[in-house]
């Protein structure tokens, strides 16, 4: 079995799940798998094993010690008694996820508190099954992977940065991720290795669990009848603030483009949130824009944190840290380069929300190839809406 615990997942799935439980219990959503790496073939044997692993996933429940660990997170203690009881009964329903063989497709469709939770598990399963059936195993990559990991650790000792593991979804295997967590946790101080987005390993190694919300949470606002499309992102920021009352204060910046994010991330939110996560586009350009935005809001950027998390490796993170360290507090979320740097080609796979309440939703990333939506007319409409609102905002600023 690949997934043996429902904690073997990113923290933000649970923090978002609480919001869905409290505020969006009747919302439905569709998530779709996509492999962005060209010329990848998933064989019948792979697909059969992926299906078996998902069957196993849907048999799991949270254990009592896992529920206690979740409840003991400081931001979960208030207004979470009902949510913890919900988790005690929680089980993924196999009826809400489908696998098709030709062409290979996976999609989850149903209540958002079900469909959303499949994402990280499915990606971890697909990745591990693919490598296993391609003739690679933990044993064959152990030597090369450990050598690469040791070099990273030595580099981090010479050039310390604050980073967290964000690599569960594209890890080579669960066993390999555990080996990586053991070494990072034992050989680096907490001021360098800040923790992991993976709840299972955070619990096991007594590390901080890292995460707030993902693109899906912002996208959800696009499908709400009570919210205009132009205000959908800002609405979700407010929902998050209302739910967690200034805890979990890292705001994701690239669901509708960084410029539109800055428009919505006004002085109120800039003060309220602890910082921003940058996940697409030019990190240097985004960083400079954010610093200037804080200054316009009369906020000292050195009181806020900018977390970079877009396709980073240790070397690129060190360069970003050197550039920004005296301008704003910086941290890094590093994924594939930490949990799947074993000398093999890496799969670029995602499992993204494409519909909510039977309406299309989209992420308009600052990296265009990250956009994923089946309704191109909706994407055009969304872009037009954003461009119109940005133009209005610019005219307003020029008038003032």
The DSSP secondary structure of 236-273, one letter per residue, reads HHHHHHHHHTT-S-EEE--SS-HHHHHHHS-HHHHHHS
Say how many CA atoms lie within 13 Å of 23 toward its Cβ.
Answer: 19
Report the pLDDT value the prediction gives residue 315, as an integer from 0 to 100.
98
Domain assignment of residue 306, yes or no: yes
Q: CA-to-CA distance for 229 and 387, rounded, in angstroms?
A: 12
Q: CA-to-CA distance for 108 and 130, rounded, in angstroms?
A: 20
- What is the CB neighbour count within 10 angstroms for residue 295? 11
User: For 7-65, how does the pLDDT look when each residue is reduced to its tens digit (9 = 90+)?
Assistant: 999 999 999 999 999 999 999 999 999 999 999 999 999 999 999 999 999 999 999 99
Domain assignment of residue 344, yes or no: yes
Domain assignment of residue 199, yes or no: yes
CATH code of 215's domain: 3.20.140.10
Q: Which is more confident, 160 or 135?
A: 160
Whether pLDDT at 394 is above 60: yes
Q: Which is more confident, 78 or 220?
A: 220
Residue 16 near residue 94 (C-beta atoms within 8 A): no
User: For 166-181, how does the pLDDT look when each residue is reduced to its tens digit (9 = 90+)?
Assistant: 999 999 999 999 999 9
Domain assignment of residue 3, yes or no: no
Domain assignment of residue 334, yes or no: yes
CA distances from 308 to 47, 216, 279, 280, 313 (A): 34, 18, 6, 9, 11
Whether pLDDT at 399 is above 70: no
Least confident of 164-173, 252-261, 362-371: 362-371
Report the pLDDT value the prediction gives residue 398, as an integer from 0 to 100.
64
How many separate domains does the chain show?
A: 1
CA distances from 68 to 72, 88, 104, 111, 395 (A): 6, 10, 39, 25, 52
Q: CA-to-CA distance for 58 and 71, rounded, in angstroms?
A: 23
Q: Provide mean pLDDT across the span 334-342.
A: 96
Nearest to 310 by CA among 283, 328, 289, 346: 283
Instruction: Give 135's pLDDT tier (boundaries 50, 70, 90).
Output: confident
Domain assignment of residue 6, yes or no: no
Q: Provide mean pLDDT across the span 204-225.
A: 97
What is the share, in percent, of the chain residues with pLDDT greater than 90? Answer: 90
Nearest to 136 by CA among 375, 386, 340, 381: 340
* Domain hosting residue 91, numbered range: 11-399
Contacts of 77 (CB under 8 A, 6+ apart): 71
Edge-to-edge strand ranges of the sheet holding 349-356: 97-100, 105-111, 28-35, 349-356, 359-360
Domain assignment of residue 325, yes or no: yes
The helices-and-strands tally (H runs, E runs) of the chain is: 17, 11
The tokens 């000398």 sit on which residue? 343
Domain assignment of residue 1, yes or no: no
pTM: 0.96
Instruction: Provide the mean pLDDT of the chain.
Output: 95
């Amino acid at each position: 079995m690949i997934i043996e615990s429902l904690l073997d997942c990113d923290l933000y799935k649970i923090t978002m799940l609480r919001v869905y439980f409290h505020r969006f219990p009747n919302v439905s959503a569709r998530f779709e798998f996509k492999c962005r790496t060209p010329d990848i073939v998933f064989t019948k044997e792979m697909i059969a094993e992926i299906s078996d692993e998902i069957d196993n996933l849907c048999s799991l429940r949270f254990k009592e010690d896992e529920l206690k660990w979740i409840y003991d997170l400081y931001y979960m203690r208030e207004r979470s008694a009902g949510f913890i009881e919900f988790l005690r009964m929680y089980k993924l329903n196999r009826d809400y996820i489908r696998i098709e063989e030709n062409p290979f497709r996976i999609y989850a469709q149903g209540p958002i508190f079900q469909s959303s939770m499949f994402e990280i598990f499915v990606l971890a399963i697909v990745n591990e099954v693919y490598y296993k059936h391609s003739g690679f195993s933990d044993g064959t990559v152990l030597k090369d992977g450990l050598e690469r990991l040791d070099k990273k650790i030595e580099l981090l000792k010479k050039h310390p940065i604050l980073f967290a593991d964000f690599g569960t979804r594209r890890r080579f295997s669960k066993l390999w991720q555990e080996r990586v967590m053991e070494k990072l946790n034992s050989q680096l101080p907490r001021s360098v290795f800040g923790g992991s987005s993976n709840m299972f390993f955070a619990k096991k190694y007594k590390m901080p669990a890292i995460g707030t919300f993902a693109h899906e949470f912002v996208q959800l606002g696009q499908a709400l009848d009570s919210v205009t499309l132009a205000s959908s992102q800002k609405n979700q920021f407010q929902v998050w603030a209302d739910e967690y009352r200034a805890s979990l204060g890292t705001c994701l910046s690239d669901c509708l483009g960084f410029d539109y994010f800055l428009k919505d991330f006004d002085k109120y939110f800039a003060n309220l949130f602890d910082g921003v996560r940058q996940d697409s586009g030019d990190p240097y350009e985004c960083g400079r824009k954010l610093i200037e935005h804080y200054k316009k809001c009369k906020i000292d950027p050195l009181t806020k944190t900018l977390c970079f998390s877009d396709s980073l490796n240790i070397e690129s993170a060190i360069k970003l840290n050197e550039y920004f360290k005296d301008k704003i507090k910086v941290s890094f979320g590093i994924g594939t380069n930490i949990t799947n740097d074993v000398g093999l080609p890496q799969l670029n796979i995602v499992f993204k929300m494409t519909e909510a309440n039977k309406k299309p939703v989209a992420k308009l990333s600052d990296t265009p190839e990250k956009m994923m939506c089946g309704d191109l007319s909706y994407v055009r409409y969304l872009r037009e809406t954003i461009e119109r609102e940005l133009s209005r905002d610019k005219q307003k600023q020029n008038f003032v």
